[in-house]
Structure 1
């Protein structure tokens, strides 16, 4: 049998953001419909200045695909010392009926796409319908991806952006305004950005509270992306008190997500978590119910998102005869 090989350029031209948003919605619904097997993901932390590598695995009954993704990040010396990116990813797809390897594809772009789409799906389900202003805390690649996705589900009038690094913030402002024509305000402080926001998006590798509770206005929707493993944090835990808390996976978020911090401080109890996002998409639980409530989407990232997105890319590649086929397993 033949196995398809897809590089980063192939992946980029085989799927667009609207499709990714659809596949991520499929993933959340499948997860909360009992159609997904998703073991806990594992993470190997390497000594500084190196970062970590995550391994995520899932099976989706709806598409009969098993996916396995390895994704690394936080290797700042890679470009200069080794000539490779600071973060990389690889996805393997197996036909669940035979467990034969059917596709190997670049996973770095896929991870960015499906993570951006996750934020957009949460905005559709939880943000106020009249939301217009976004605060971007962090202005790296994933911050850009969040805007690419969110603009597909709402009209963004203004972005208030902040970053530790002024040069990164300045480049973000240029890039976003050129690509989308959305005005970007380079905020003088985190507080100045957050206080203006209908939607707060955080995409940093934070190790402490970046956003304080006093800054968050009633009716704000928070998209918490950066905290996806032990030791990371972006929000003052007090923000969770009285908020509507939605996780992608409760099991993951209470152990490795932003939700762990208020639980650890006993600001909230596990039963204070309102829902998983798939439950809201399926109509099992309500989304936003008033214009004044603060909603929080804590996303640790799930293997099933990789599964459904990679499966769509694979189907598009087969239909378009894209990629390189090789005999991994001789017939």
Structure 2
């Protein structure tokens, strides 16, 4: 049986953001429909100055594909050796035989599907009249969030804050050049947050960067950065009176932003509204009024990689892209 190899530049030509958003919506609905087998992911923190590596695996009964993704980040010394600071790889297996059918670069997929996750949450949890986005953090994922959300709503203005002035300045230049959306550079995180209709946090924070008192009624929060214990971006008090939506409750209560208010007894597990897949399946309501504060805690799931990578693989087969090889 032949295995298809897809390099990064090939992967980039085989899927667009709109297709990724559709794949992530499918993933969330599948997960909340019981069509997914997804063991707990493994995360390994390596000694400084190295970063972390995660392993996420999942089986989707509808497409009969098993996926395995490795994703690393925070390797700050890598560029000096000609390597990116973060890398990813995805393997796809035919679940009928467990034969490896595809090996592809996964670094782009992680960014795309995480950005798409924010866009899906905006569709069901943000106010329909939301116009202003604030990004706390201005790295690659902050850009991906804008690329994805721009597909599902009209963004009129972006407010941004970062600890790094140089990164903040580049973010403004990049976003305004790519989208023509004005970016306002905030003097403080408080100043940026107070402007938000939609607040996106995409940092590697290890303490709260957003205070509860700064959040105005009706804000939708997309919490991206916390996917392991030890990370934190939000004041746990924000959760006390918010509608809390998780990608996976089991992951978010142990590794996500939701863990912090649970650990401090600010909320109980019963205060979690549900999973985003349940909202997409119309099993639970999304936003119900223009004043409630909504939080989407996204820890990232293997099923997102599965549906996105399978779409890439299907497009590659259809367009005869990639290199085939045989192990046996």
Question: Could you tell me how far apart the structure 2 residues matched to 1:272 and 1:206 are?
Answer: 24
Match of 1:213 in 2: 212
Question: Could you tell me how far apart the structure 2 residues matched to 1:11 and 1:126 are?
Answer: 30
Question: Could you tell me how far apart the structure 2 residues matched to 1:10 and 1:83 are?
Answer: 20
Match of 1:151 in 2: 150
Q: What 5-or-longer segments of structure 1 have no aligned partner? A: none
Question: Could you tell me how far apart the structure 2 residues matched to 1:7 and 1:191 are?
Answer: 41
Match of 2:312 in 1: 313
Match of 1:52 in 2: 52
Match of 2:88 in 1: 89
Question: Could you tell me how far apart the structure 2 residues matched to 1:251 and 1:85 are?
Answer: 31
In the alignment, is residue 277 of structure 1 matched against residue 276 of structure 2? Answer: yes
Per-residue CA deviations over 1:135-168 (Å, capped at 9, x if unaligned) read 0000000000000000000000000000110000
Give 1:327 shift: 1.0
Question: Could you tell me how far apart the structure 1 residues matched to 2:187 and 2:322 are?
Answer: 46
Question: Could you tell me how far apart the structure 1 residues matched to 2:229 and 2:79 are?
Answer: 26
What is the TM-score with the length of structure 2 in the denominator?
A: 1.00
Following TM superposition, the consecutive aligned residue runs of length 4 or more in structure 1 with deviations greater than 3 angstroms are none
In the alignment, is residue 74 of structure 1 matched against residue 74 of structure 2? Answer: yes
Match of 2:65 in 1: 65
Task: Calculate the aligned-residue CA RMSD, in Å.
Answer: 0.5
Match of 2:291 in 1: 292
Count, aligned residues? 328
Give 1:49 shift: 1.1
Per-residue CA deviations over 1:200-250 (Å, capped at 9, x if unaligned) read 000000000100000000000000000011100000000000100000000
Describe the SS at the equivalent of 1:286.
coil
Give 1:17 shift: 0.1
Describe the SS at the equivalent of 2:13.
helix
Per-residue CA deviations over 1:245-267 (Å, capped at 9, x if unaligned) read 00000000000000000000000
Q: What 5-or-longer segments of structure 2 have no aligned partner? A: none
Match of 1:325 in 2: 324
Match of 2:24 in 1: 24
In the alignment, is residue 230 of structure 1 matched against residue 226 of structure 2? Answer: no
Per-residue CA deviations over 1:94-116 (Å, capped at 9, x if unaligned) read 00011000000000000000000
Give 1:57 shift: 0.3
